[in-house]
Amino acid sequence: MLRSSTVTIKDIAKKLGISTSTVSRALTNHSDINPKTKEAVLELAQQLDYQPNSIALSLRKKQTNIIGVIIPEMVNRFFSKAIGGIQDEASKAGYNIMVCQSNESQHIEYNNIQTLLNSLVDGIIISVSKETSSERPFQKIIDKGVPLVFFDRVIDSLETPKVMSDNYEAAFNATSHLIEMGCSRIARVSGPLNLYNSRWRLKGYQDALISHNLPIDEELIIYSSHTATNVREYTNHLLDLPNPPDGIFAINDQGALEIMHTIKQRGLRIPEDICVIGFNNDYFSAFTEPSLSSVEIPAYELGRIAAELLLKEVKVDSPIHEKRIVPSKLILRDSTRRIKD
Amino acid sequence: MLRSSTVTIKDIAKKLGISTSTVSRALTNHSDINPKTKEAVLELAQQLDYQPNSIALSLRKKQTNIIGVIIPEMVNRFFSKAIGGIQDEASKAGYNIMVCQSNESQHIEYNNIQTLLNSLVDGIIISVSKETSSERPFQKIIDKGVPLVFFDRVIDSLETPKVMSDNYEAAFNATSHLIEMGCSRIARVSGPLNLYNSRWRLKGYQDALISHNLPIDEELIIYSSHTATNVREYTNHLLDLPNPPDGIFAINDQGALEIMHTIKQRGLRIPEDICVIGFNNDYFSAFTEPSLSSVEIPAYELGRIAAELLLKEVKVDSPIHEKRIVPSKLILRDSTRRIKD
DNA sequence: AAATACGTTGCAAACGTTTGCTAAACTTCA
DNA sequence: TGAAGTTTAGCAAACGTTTGCAACGTATTT
């Protein structure tokens, strides 16, 4: 297909009988240039609807103005919100983003990295997959001199900027809240422990129990493989225990939704018989029955800050390693609202 | 920051004492070349971990292997699913995608188009914003010779490939289902009528009524501005009518969720007093109380096909205009399950 | 009037590739 | 042995920019 001939700097130069360098200088108002020539160039450029060829620019300047983003999955509302933040911040600075999904697979994540590096992105923002354990691919990015920023799911041992929420505190507070509502046997559905977040949330949960003089019962800790299919299974397992929980701290709101569903099907009442609290404050949580208490993580803000840090590093052109912790917020609703007896 | 010197075709040529053209030919196994030289080049390239510079390639070949995508918003599960389909199909063909959000704003959408055109994407896939009324920006894309494909929210008057679901049929079937369940006064929450989809869904709803000899009552049709805040408002308005509806066909599952919430708060029973059906079959719909009937639109598939058509057009290098209709599916759950009296 | 300075411009190289054309070297055939 | 043919390889231009350097013309200075 014939792309309607795009106008280049050459066309302008030819029409004006001057050299391309002059045109370039007029357009970029770089060096000294005769105001009159500049005027003429600008006018003609406007008239011809000249658009600089970004590829040529990239080649010349060795920068693409694209930042790569790798997230586990787009359909996860947390990440799609974060992308919003990244995009807004990036576009403010004249950058575009190229998003890849790892589908929670370490292998695909590795391919994503390759793809982005090959596309010569100016930097990479990533939230790692559940499977990710090796530092190698990330070290490779750093070694190539490509700025790298982690958000939410970080690899803590690497010296790069990181943005995350106060997972420990969030879990501590959520658990404490359940305890204050009178729960004493609180189950925790944990994510895979290779994730830094999961480890700290678990610790926050445990420390809250300890600080309230409650025992830590391993029986009440579920290590979820996170496939939605087994929520019903482990919920039933918990409820079938000789000494079942009177509170559940779910892995996220989707999990909590299904947990509540299972609990209700068994004829138990929420929050009277058992309290449930989620994580991430999903869209539907205000409308469930009962409405679901949750922890709100400012996803958009995490993404925005991640982009901010990345752009800072790109600009400064030297590695920084700033760690930012963004506060979360406990959202209290009916699933944990009960009168303490 | 010093990017560790990337190896280029020149480095290989120098080390081997041959010209860059030969190296290029060896790497692309293009023209005739001595198998021995080729072997040597390939080996050295491997050893040095040579990666072709995609920018230089783009400049030379005048193609970026990037396809641009514009959607209203990422946090909308429908669109994030669709992006999954686009991405999978694109990456199979060696393409990357660059995603922009219009935030349902015609103005931002226009900027997105500019951005993508300036980035010299090889094609654009778009689902237009709710505000979009003008064809102009899209005509501009076409005039530039950049392949353009619409999905889901299309502009029907433009001659480009389009992928959409059978909106008319879906709405017809959903409405008919309500009627078969004994509803005779069915409210419809419609999207803005400048959207092709909204118009056809409304028509499907109306035709279903007609074909069952039911009257069309304008009083029962809500034109939603789609801001989530007013759901409660219009639901109450409907229920306060002297002759209130006994069935509601919501604009989507999120709307349906809130409608159900409002209905229940007023002490009405679902589905006994009033049936509710949604659209898009969201994640939570299986777990609401009662579980929510809905129409499933195969978002991933829509996206996948859109990419397929776009890549076909890019490849063939001549405009095609194929319109694909992807079937939807009625998902029946408890919110409409009642014994006909 | 000559020398110097300055403002403005063009040349050409560079970024990393691909590719048409040409040339060298080698093979084949008469 | 010479002519013709066939591989194989290199040169150079091209893609659209930017930019260091040199050079031009004009203005300023002495």
pLDDT tens for each residue of B144-201: 999 999 999 999 999 999 999 999 999 999 999 999 999 999 999 999 999 999 999 9
Do residue A115 and residue B4 have CB atoms under 8 angstroms apart?
no
Please state, in angstroms and as integers, the Cα–Cα distance from residue B332 to each residue in A66, A275, B281, B329, following that order: 45, 30, 10, 9
Q: Find, among A295, A297, A323, A299, the residue nearest to A309 by Cα.
A: A323
pLDDT recorded at residue B4? 58
**Residue A227: pLDDT over 80:** no
Do residue B287 and residue A257 have CB atoms under 8 angstroms apart?
yes
Using CB atoms, pick whichever of B55, B99, B318 lies closest to residue A99.
B99
Mean pLDDT of A276-299: 96
With contact defined as beta carbons under 8 Å apart, do B245 and B175 qualify? no
More confident residue, A35 or A301: A301
- Strand order, beta sheet including A323-326: A96-101, A66-71, A123-126, A148-151, A162-165, A323-326
Concatenating the DSSP letter of every residue in B216-283 gives: --GGGEEE----GGGHHHHHHHHHHSSS--SEEE-SSHHHHHHHHHHHHHTT--TTTT-EEE-SS--G
Residues β-bridged to residue B101: B71
CA of B47 to C1' of D3 (A): 44
A296 DSSP 8-state letter: E
With contact defined as beta carbons under 8 Å apart, do A203 and A262 qualify? no
Model confidence at B248, pLDDT cuts 50, 70, 90, reads very high
What is the per-residue pLDDT across A180-191, written as a single tens digit (0 to 9) for each? 999 999 999 999
CB pairs under 8 A between A and B: 126
What is the per-residue pLDDT across B57-68, written as a single tens digit (0 to 9) for each? 999 999 999 999
What is the three-class DSSP state of A146? coil
pLDDT recorded at residue A98? 96
- d(CA B87, CA B98) in angstroms, rounded, equals 10
- d(CA A82, CA A13) in angstroms, rounded, equals 44
**Residue A261: pLDDT over 80:** yes
Residues of chain A above pLDDT 90, percent: 90
What is the per-residue pLDDT across A89-116, written as a single tens digit (0 to 9) for each? 999 999 999 999 999 999 999 999 999 9
Instruction: Report yes or no on whether pTM surpasses 0.85.
Output: yes
By C-alpha to C1' distance, D14 is nearest to B60
**Residue B2: pLDDT over 50:** no
Kindly report the bases of strand C lying within 7 A of a protein C-beta atom.
7-12, 14-20
Query: If you average pLDDT over every residue of chain B, what do you get?
Result: 93
pLDDT recorded at residue B296? 97
Please state, in angstroms and as integers, the Cα–Cα distance from residue B51 to each residue in A114, A225, A311, B128, B261, following that order: 10, 37, 25, 37, 56
Kindly report the bases of strand D lying within 7 A of a protein C-beta atom.
7-12, 14-20
Mean pLDDT of B224-234: 75
pLDDT recorded at residue A9? 95
| Three-state SS letters, B23-44 | HHHHHCCCCCCCHHHHHHHHHH
Tokens encoding A159: 């010296």
Chain B interface disruption, residue of A58, A333, A334, most B CBs within 10 A: A58
Model confidence at A338, pLDDT cuts 50, 70, 90, reads confident
Tokens encoding B276: 């509710």
Do residue B96 and residue A80 have CB atoms under 8 angstroms apart?
no
Strands B294-296 and B96-101: unpaired
Model confidence at A73, pLDDT cuts 50, 70, 90, reads very high
CA of B26 to C1' of C30 (A): 36
Chain A interface disruption, residue of B4, B69, B89, B120, most A CBs within 10 A: B120
Chain B environment of A288 (Cβ under 8 Å): 284, 287-289
Chain B's closest residue to A103, CA to CA, is: B84
Model confidence at B304, pLDDT cuts 50, 70, 90, reads very high
Query: In the Cβ-directed half-sphere of A68, how many Cα atoms lie within 13 Å?
Result: 27
Query: If you average pLDDT over every residue of chain A, what do you get?
Result: 93
Mean pLDDT of A34-49: 93
pLDDT recorded at residue B1? 44
What is the per-residue pLDDT across A147-178, written as a single tens digit (0 to 9) for each? 999 999 999 999 999 999 999 999 999 999 99
Give the range with max mean pLDDT: B212-221, B229-238, B308-317.
B212-221
Give CA torsion, residues B329, B334, B339, B341, to 10 deg.
Answer: -90
- d(CA A284, CA B217) in angstroms, rounded, equals 31
pLDDT recorded at residue B33? 87
How far is the alpha carbon of A56 from chain B, nearest alpha carbon, in Å?
6
pLDDT recorded at residue A2? 46
CA of B165 to C1' of C5 (A): 74
